[in-house]
Structure formats: C-alpha cells, structure tokens
Structure 1
Amino acid sequence: MVSFVKILLTGATGFVGGRLASHFARSDAISLVCAVRRAGTSVCGEEFVIGELNATTEWTEALIGQDVVIHAAARVHIMQDETEDPLGEYRKINVRGTLNLARQAARAGVRRFIFISSIKVNGEHSPRGFPFTADAAPAPEDAYGISKLEAEEALSAVATETGMEVVIIRPPLVYGPGVKGNFATLIELLEKGVPLPLGAIHNKRSLVALDNLVDLIVTCIDHPKAGNQVFLAGDGEDVSTTELLRGIGNAIGRPARLIPVPAAVLMFGAGLLGKKAVAQRVLGSLQVDISKTRRMLGWEPPLSLEEGLRRCFDSERSC
C-alpha cells in the first residue's frame, strides 16, 4: 500500500470480509466503509446500511469519494439447495446485485472493483497433475459456479464500457478461524477422536488460508498490473485428503485416527447412500495453478499450509 486509499467493502460480516475489515482497521493508510444489512454488525468504524443486496440496492451515498470497491458479499454455495429455482436465486444477488453495484461504482468514479469469485467457475474437479489455470476456459457445473461466471462476464463488460478496472480473484476452499461446512465437520470429528476411513486417499487438493487470501486481496488494491485480470488464489501446496487430516491433527495436537479404505470403495458406498457429491469433494482432486498470480503480482503466500492450519487453533482465534 503506497498511498491513502478509500475502500467500500461488502460482505464485511462474512468469513472473508470480516477478516479483511479487521485487517483494514489496523491500517492508517485505509479509509474503510463497510456495507452491512444491519447497523452494528461489523468491526468497521463506519458502516453503510444497505438492507438486501439485489438489482435495486441504492449505493450512491456509500460510493461517494471511494477509490476501490471490494465485493465479498454473495449468496454463498449451498450443498443441498432445496429452493425451486437455485440458479435464479443465485442470480438475484451474485449476478444482478453485483452488476448493479459495479455500474453505480463506475458512475461514482471508483477506479478499481475487486470481485471475490470462486474456483467453481473453473469447475468442480481437475485431473490430478493438471491444475486449473486462471486463463483456462471456464466450466462451472452447479448453479453457484454459473452465477459467479455470469457475474465475472458482466463485470468485464462494465470495465470495457466505463474504464473502471476490474480484478477477479477465484479462491478454492478457504480455511481459517471460523471456517464452516465440510472442513469444520472434519475438524470436529478429529477433535472427538472419531476414526475416519480416509487413510488411503491419494488425491490432490489446493486450499488457501484465510490470511493468505486477505494478503492477496490487499495486494490487488493498488498493484499496477492487477487491473482487468483474473487471479487464482492458493497456498502453493497441494495435499491429499489424508495428508490434510494428518495436518489438522498435528495442529490440534491430536493424531488423526485414519483407516486405510480404498477411495473406490468409499465412492461406491457414498453412491448407495446418496452422498456422491459430498464424497467427490473429499475424494476427488481440485488443484489450482497460481503461477500467473506469482508472476504478475510478485506475490507469494505469506503462510505455509502448516502455519495456516495452526492459526485455526490459536487460543485467541479458535475455529
């Protein structure tokens, strides 16, 4: 950060946005406004209450004088979405809500719009040894991934039309203090000492520590080469599910009790139980290549996977 920057942050009460807000609160080089649904729900000193995020949200007042918008708010991925039209629901917030904000930001003179997208734009699984790259053809498979891709495309059009720079960041699974979902479930099982049939999984998965993702977002605020680019985020270390569980066990000081059951057997059993999608996330590979991020931004993940896992369980920042 080379100069004073005024930032509007959305999603400031979320997993990623909350850590960003805390980071910015410690900086004298940042003037931060957090867009929130309800007042008093973030760590920001200055909040702007927007209510619902959609195609009609009025942003004019919040955008006055802002240099950068970091858009971390979204309708997040839901494993078993039971709404009648999941894609339509994602589009309301992730596409039309994002486009509405971007258009108003451009009119207000915002110079850079940073969009937190998802690796799901690339796809759900990568063949082992063939990681996703930032410039590969997108291939989203679910409604959430499709909505994120449509948002990216809409933002690129706004950038072309208005000259406002757009930066797109696609993270894989983000872990850190307060993590939820399948990752949190695995942590809970390991803490309880439950034996898991995951001792012979030879997949490869990329993850990104929350603090590594925050560091990348901060880098993109004013890096001269970041404008109108897509970057993949990651720790730069790929691990199997078995290795990850052992790493979590080391971080919590409790050895993982892993039973070596072949992945094919587990996948077959999951299919019988109607849990194939869950099994694919645990047993399949999803690797990302962050070489473009490194090359163009000169960025390196500050934390190793081991340190990122350890930070999950710091006494002052437990998951």
Structure 2
Amino acid sequence: MPVLSGPVLTGGERIVVLGGSGFIGSHIIPALIGAGFDVVNYDLYPPQRPLPDAVVDLRGDIRDEATLTSALTGARAVLNLAAAHHDFGLTEATFTSVNVDGAGAVTRAMTAAGVDNLCFYSSVAVYGEQPSTPTEETAPAPTNAYGRTKLAAEAVYRDWQRSGERRVLIVRPAVVFGPGNTANMYRMIDQIARRRFVSVGPGANRKSMVYVENIVAAILHFWSAEPRVDPEVYNCVDAPDLTSRAIITRVYRALGRRVPRLRLPLAPAIACARPLDWIAARTGRNLPITSDRIAKVAGTETRFSGDRMREHGYSQPRPIAAGIDEMVAWYVETGKNVRIREHLPPERPVLAREGVGA
C-alpha cells in the first residue's frame, strides 16, 4: 500500500470534537487535554460527565453549517464522534440525516473554516455479516441502517479528502466498553449484579471488543503520526477475542461471585423472548431482553481483525480482562446508581436559534 503524507497532530493545536458529550468523548477529551491540545466540544447536549475546565463546551447540531463553521474557526483538526447510533427508536431517515447529511455539512464547514485534518469514528458495523473474519480490505456489506449510513459517511469524507490536500483517518471500533458506558455490556453487568442473569447456550461464540482506554490510545497513536496506509482505515479491536462465556465468567469474578452452573439452551431461550419482541414493537419500549439481544450475546460470532493496527506500531495499553475488571469496579462504586438518559437525535437539523432540551 502507498504511504501518504498529511497533517499530523502536534501539541498546542485546537481540536474540535463533534459529539463529545457522550461516553467516548468523556474519555478522549481529557486525554487530548492531557496531551497538550486545546479542545472544543460541540454537541447538541451537555456532557454526561464533567469535562476538564480547559474545554470550551458549545451546543450545536453538526447539520447546522453556520454554527458549526463558527465553532471550527481557528481549529487545526476535527474528531467526529457525532452519530445516530441507537439500535432502537430511530428511523432510517434519522440515521441518514445525522450520519450522511451530517458528514456533508461537516466537510463544507471544515472547508469554509480552513481545516484539513479529520478523524472519523466509524464502526465495524459497515462489514455486516461476513463468512470470515473481516479485515480493512473486506468489501463492506452492512445489514442495518447504522452500518449503511456509517459507510456512506466514510465515502463522503473520502471524496472530500481527494478534492484537496487533506487527511482523513477512519477508525472502525468493535463494541466499546468501559467506565461510563451504559449500553449492552452495562446491562449484562447490571443483570448479573442484581441476580437477574441466566447464561444461555454453550458460550463458545467469540466477541471482538475494545476497552475505551485502548480506542483512545489507538486514535492518538495514528493521528499523531504520518499516515501509513491508503486508505487510512483501521479496525480497532482488542486482543485476544474472548468467548461470551469468558466475558460472563470475568464479570462474575470481578463481582466476587461464583459462576452459576445453570445454562439455558439457546434456541428455546430465543423462542421464549419472542413475546417481548412483540411488546417492544407495539409499545415502543426499549426492553432489556429481546430475542435479538439474546442471540447477539449467546449465539452470534462477531470477530474482526485488528492485525493492521498492530502491524503499524499500535501497542494495546490495557489487557481486555483488566478493562472488564475496571468497568465492573466503576459499576460497583457509582455505575449501579447512574441515571441512564438516551438522547435520540432529531430527524431534522436543530438550528442555533431553535435550541434543544438538555
């Protein structure tokens, strides 16, 4: 693969983080501040967790080009974390508006503000279901709206890159977990802690995941150096891949609990959850247990190759098992009492004069 030249991050520069008020932003923004960068957070909603005092915190929609262009003035680089990503409660039109139309607005605002360096937080969801472990060279075949619109956004950014002397770094993380995360890993820890969890199936299916501290390190590693590959795309995956049984066992042990011997057969468990699917579809409620979630945890093999990132100098800072321990410790200390607030993005852009509720 050819090696490219392009702008690299250097301390003291201003970075605008789009969508930095959520889980990933709460970890990467302090890391950027610690590395000597001047950071602006631009998000529709206030931060879920307090950000460092040095951060300039702005409210805005990435589809509001005028407000976004103003926020980018004086910046040297943009990290785009903003996305419609929830697996429940969003229409295809909302995914397209936020992820694809939003990408177009970001490129136009960057051009207007003279910013030529972008890191885009994409997803392994672009690969869809593959017969073998996907690498960065695997042809994407997304199977849901999130994956389709993330892939379309990548294309928007690549087109923008080709139209000038610009850099676009694309990271495709697997499932990210860690302190502050309240998605699927949190639900499992919470159910185990409250003695509401029952293991399903043999648990031999392997799961690619990445601890939040490691995805932050990967972004800083590649963004702070010259581009190494073309296209500059990296799957972000911790090693080794753990089986679902190993993940569950680690959580039990981190909680100081014995692993129960009871395991339900997979097929009957999925069948028993079908009525919950019906209830969720008709009430609009995001239920913690559905047949799809059971299948994802207990039956689906979701593995992705992280070889490229390691071949190009990345060294994983934290073992994945230690990451699980640290998330469980956070849960025990504060996470079990956290108030989960799901901010679903609106389908149409929110302009600065309109505002949005906290």
Q: Same fold (TM over 0.5)?
A: yes
Identity rate of aligned residues, in percent?
23
Change (3 A) 1:159 1:271: same
The alpha-carbon distance between structure 1 residues 270 and 313, as it changes in their structure 2 partners (threshold 3 A), is: closer
The match for 2:103 among 98, 103, 119 is: 98
TM-score, normalization by structure 2: 0.79
State the one-letter code of the partner of 2:114. G
Matches within 5 A, 1:178-217: 178-198=180-200, 200-217=202-219
Matched, 1:294 2:310: yes
Choose from 70, 78, 86 the match for 1:77: 86
Q: Does structure 1 residue 230 correspond to structure 2 residue 229?
A: no
Aligned to 2:280: none
1:263 equivalent to 2:266? Answer yes
From 65, 76, 81, the counterpart of 2:74: 65
Q: Whole-Å Cα distance in 2 between the matches of residues 318 and 62 of structure 1? A: 34
RMSD: 2.4
1:17 paired residue number: 25
Question: Given the alignment, which residue of 29, 35, 38 partners 1:31?
Answer: 38
Contact 2:19 2:44 in 1 (8 A): no
Which amino acid in the other structure matches residue 137 of structure 2? D
1:202 partner SS: coil
Seen in structure 2, the aligned counterparts of structure 1 residues 206 and 221 have a Cα distance that, compared at 3 Å, is same
- Asked whether the 8 Å contact 2:201–2:266 carries over to 1, the reply is no
SS state of the match for residue 67, structure 2?
Answer: coil
Structure 1 residue 191, shift from structure 2 partner: 0.7
Runs of 5+ in structure 1 lacking a partner?
none
Cα distance between partner residues in 1 of 2:80 and 2:317: 23
1-structure distance, mates of 2:32, 2:242? 31
| Structure 1 residue 89: Cα displacement | 0.6
* Partner SS, residue 179 of structure 1: coil
Alignment check: 8 A CA contact 1:193 1:256 kept:
no
Q: 2:126 matched to which residue of 1?
A: 121
The correspondence of residues 108-187 of structure 1 with structure 2, limited to 5 A, is 108-123=113-128, 125-127=129-131, 130-187=132-189
Deviations 1:227-269, CA, capped at 9 Å, x for gaps = 7411101111111211110011122222332523333443444
The higher relative CO (CA closer than 8 Å, separation ≥ 6) is in 2
Q: What is aligned with 1:310?
A: 325
Q: TM-score, normalised by structure 1?
A: 0.88
Q: Equivalent residue of 1:162, what SS?
A: coil
Aligned match of 2:16: 8
The answer (yes or no) to whether the contact 1:203–1:240 under 8 Å persists in 2 is yes
Alignment correspondent of 2:351: none
CA offset digits 1:60-107 (Å, max 9, x no partner): 2222232211001111222x33x5xx1211111111112211222134
Counterpart residue number, 1:277: 292
1:223 CA drift (Å): 1.6
Report if the CA contact (8 A) 2:43-2:82 is conserved: no
* Conserved? CA contact 2:235–2:306, under 8 Å: yes
